[in-house]
Homo-oligomer: A and B are copies of this chain.
């Protein structure tokens, strides 16, 4: 059995669903939506060895991460995933066991979120492994939650805890698909994005389409245990608050709702998703720009997460 033979074997038993009319092995996959009047969600994302993961990372986790990233994008639109295509770039000297692990991690997550894997392509890429996932999802007509739509005075919420993702979270995070759909089903979510490049940066993508700004409350930012631990371990490390504001790959949901919905939302969330945190971290302002408020006052926050007074505040 040569190595491409192994890949063929690995891709023979892939998660499916009733919507799959033609799966792997033809020129294209063919899908038939089970409900009429749905909008389609379409997204692609790649992880590259040496950029998004290391060869020393567990293959199952790398496969998990590659699919989880695009699932997180579907979550951010309050959609549901349907089918994925896998593009795998491999160097000539690749380890078949590693490829086995990539598919194991990917398939396990696909099965858990009912994603059909409807095809795969393997191509030679000298020197490094690349795993690119294309995802097709659905959402009820006109119900996709966009980045645009926030209003001045809206409350700004974030799920989970932020910062320090590269300590391990980035390889094992759960895409917030169930949470996002529950949010969109029970509350009028004005706008939503998933955090991939860090709160301080991604928040701007949520504000820019509407020309709005935001004021964050420093004491409210939910800081992850790894971010706190790293800050405490070394005075050379960035302060935990800065990590929570600036670190990438959190893959939590950031969204806005009318301020009078904030308390009912927090109550309902707690009943539904405890112990997963949901935190109101600030409010939307009509004035563009992002600022951070703490006991010393309000100062502008830069996209990389640093602000004048965040610097000395080490903990």
Residues of A participating in the B interface, judged by any CB pair closer than 8 Å: 21-22, 25-33, 36, 39-46, 48, 50-52, 73-74, 76-77, 79, 83, 85, 87, 89, 118-119, 121, 123-128, 130, 132, 134-137, 139, 141, 144, 146-148, 192-194, 209
Contact = CB atoms under 8 A, between A and B. Distances in A.
A87 B132 contact: yes
Contact of A51 (B25, B123, B209): B123
Nearest to A137: B28
A297 to B, nearest CB: 33
B43 A33 contact: no
20 contacts: A26-B77, A26-B147, A27-B43, A27-B73, A27-B194, A28-B79, A30-B144, A31-B39, A31-B40, A42-B85, A42-B118, A42-B119, A42-B134, A42-B136, A44-B44, A45-B121, A51-B124, A51-B126, A52-B123, A125-B130
Contacts of A141: 32
- Nearest first, the 10 closest Cβ-Cβ pairs linking A and B are A134-B134, A27-B76, A28-B41, A28-B43, A31-B40, A27-B73, A29-B42, A44-B85, A44-B134, A30-B144
Count chain B CB atoms within 10 A of each CB in A26, A45, A48, A194 and give the residue with the most. A26
Contacts of A83: 42
A21 B22 CA distance: 27
A40 B136 contact: yes
Given A22-B144, A85-B134, A144-B21, A28 B42 contact: yes
Contacts of A33: 40
Contacts of A21: 39, 144
A178 to B, nearest CB: 17
B193 A73 contact: no
A159 to B, nearest CB: 15
A27 B77 contact: yes
Contacts of A28: 41-43, 73-74, 76-77, 79, 135, 137, 144
B123 A126 contact: no
Contacts of A40: 30-33, 40, 136
Contacts of A42: 28-31, 83, 85, 118-119, 134, 136
